[in-house]
Amino acid sequence: MPSQVIPLYQKHDDDGNMSLDFLVGFTIFLMAFIWVATMIPGILIGLQAHTIDYDAVAYRTGVLLVEDPGWPATPGWETESDERKAEMIRFGLAISKETPNILADSKVARFFNSTTFIYPEDYRDRLIFGDYPYRFNISLRDIEKDTTLVVGDALPDGYGHIRRLVKIKSTSNATIGSQQIAEHRYTNTENVTSHEFSILFNNTKLLNEEKDPLYQIDLSSDSVMVNITDFRETLFPADLTHVDPADVEITLAYINVYKEDAGILTKMGTFDGPVFDDDSDPVQPPHDVQNAISLKITPDFVQGMQAQYTKLYFNLTFDLTDGGVPYASTFLNNTNARAPPFDYNYHPANVTQSRLRDAIIEVSVW
């Protein structure tokens, strides 16, 4: 029999075709798979504590503390006032990124200030980071001072831990006492009722003479301290037979600050934060002085005047009275031709230079 011929339009070939039911089912399966995959991390969040490497978190925190200066860096975060705490983005105790393991004394003092920062929120947001509610304990032992600063909770049974050996750069300071006053001839030979004593910070010279940041006096990043003492020993009344030096009233009227840039001297304002005698808190002049004044000049003050590469003069004006009446006497005065301003420099006879103290910092996280 002859073979039957099937018309072309009657041929059927289902190869390569996919049923509609399969497509719908596969799509539903794929969507369900994606939804479950996105939900798994939330389901297991309660189990994450068992897999966290606390040693790694402690190590990372320790690196940030001792190898990073924090942010803002210039001027440093530690110079911000308590009211501007929100502008402190990241904690770090290092002087700079180029000096790891060398901590700034001012940063250390501010970091462990419990009246400024709240544990754990402030520290977690600026140092630990992340969404996990870590608890932690950070301590710094100053070996030379034999003191230990601590922030955080008491240590539990199990925790991650890191220990770092560090150095702390102390703040440079100058004490101008009776010996320095006599050597530099800071007592005016004229009997007058008002006296002016000037202190010079030649910032350009300070930066150029010492290149090593470990020993550099840099007012844009380090605080400096000037103490003026022995006021009664420098007071020589004109008539010793009628006036007792102890009866003469010494008043610091004001402290004017001048900037010299390219040979031009400009008054920038006043310094309103001296500390008097045995007080611990700054007091704005005018204020009576018994025997000593301390000036702590911070980087934010210098940065605010844009004077980090210029000369700064702090001129202290004193008024002398006896029973409320102006009294003429010799006293602190170095704005005349015989005695130039006190130069805050690298000479050890003038300024106690910065030193490096041994310390140990420990970070524990759980």
pLDDT, tens digit, 9 for 90 and up, residues 274-286: 999 988 899 999 9
For residues 166 and 65, the answer to whether their CB atoms sit within 8 Å is no
Amino acid at 190: E
Write down the residue that tokens 């004193």 correspond to: 318
Higher-scoring residue by pLDDT: 58, 73: 58
Of 45-49, 59-63, 280-284, 353-357, the one with minimum mean pLDDT is: 45-49
Average pLDDT over residues 91-113: 91
- Beta-carbon contacts of 277 under 8 Å, excluding residues fewer than 6 positions away, are 289, 290, 291, 292, 293
Render pLDDT for 322-343 as a digit per residue (tens, 0 to 9). 888 998 888 888 877 678 899 9
Greater model confidence, 131 or 238: 131
pLDDT over 80 at 42, yes or no: no
4-32 tens-digit pLDDT: 555 545 555 555 555 777 777 778 888 88
CA torsion sign for 333, 335, 337, 338 is positive
Sequence-separated (6 or more) residues with CB below 8 Å from residue 124:
133, 134, 136
116-130: pLDDT as tens digits:
898 898 998 899 887
CA-wise closest residue to 265 among 313, 301, 208, 315: 313
Contact predicate 169/161, CB 8 Å: no
pLDDT of residue 47: 45
In sequence order, the β-bridge partners of residue 289 are 250
Contact between residue 162 and residue 62 where contact means Cβ atoms under 8 Å apart: yes
User: According to the model, what pLDDT value does residue 298 have?
Assistant: 87
> How many helices (H) and strands (E) would you count in the chain?
7, 18
